[in-house]
Amino acid sequence: MAAGGAEELKRSSCDWDGVVAEIVKIEKRLFPKHESLARTFDEELRKKNAGLLYLRVNGEVAGYVMFSWPSSLSASITKLAVKDSYQRQGHGEALLRAAIQKCRTRNVHRVQLHVDPSRSPALSLYKKLGFEVDSLIDGYYSSDRDAYRMFLDFDGDG
């Protein structure tokens, strides 16, 4: 992969354990315990239609995006995270663009995700890349935290 580009994590990679360990640290730091996949990360990646792209900067994992294809027509971005020290440098956008492109190769018609409305930087990024708010889901994250369900539809040009 070109320097600065997102890499796909594959189970056959000799780097698997190290990359997963770095991602779990980011996951624990950035997400509340009940939203974190830290304890089940390896299990999540074993699911049939799941994928993960990560970005290395200066030899360390700076961020990652996890996605899945629950159906042949749609994909979901399930996690997007960038380490604090690498935020606001375009890494989240690069990861999201790479995940969207990966989803396009599966010929899905729609990519969906959920985001806390109070996470303004994330919301701005998703809107910048063409995601639209579909609906507000009360209590999605917890009884006092809602989520926007957002989507990006692809036109027929592939």
CATH numbers and ranges of domains, the chain: 7-153 (3.40.630.30)
How many CB atoms lie under 10 A from the CB of residue 63?
Answer: 25
Predicted TM-score of the model (pTM): 0.83
Residue 108, phi then psi, degrees to nearest 5: -75, 160
Length of the chain: 158
- State pLDDT tens for residues 32-54: 777 766 666 667 777 778 888 99
Query: What sections of the chain are H helices per DSSP?
Result: 16-30, 41-46, 91-105, 120-128
Pair of tokens at residue 60: 């360390």
Pair of tokens at residue 68: 């899945």
Predicted pLDDT of residue 33: 74
Pair of tokens at residue 91: 């890494």
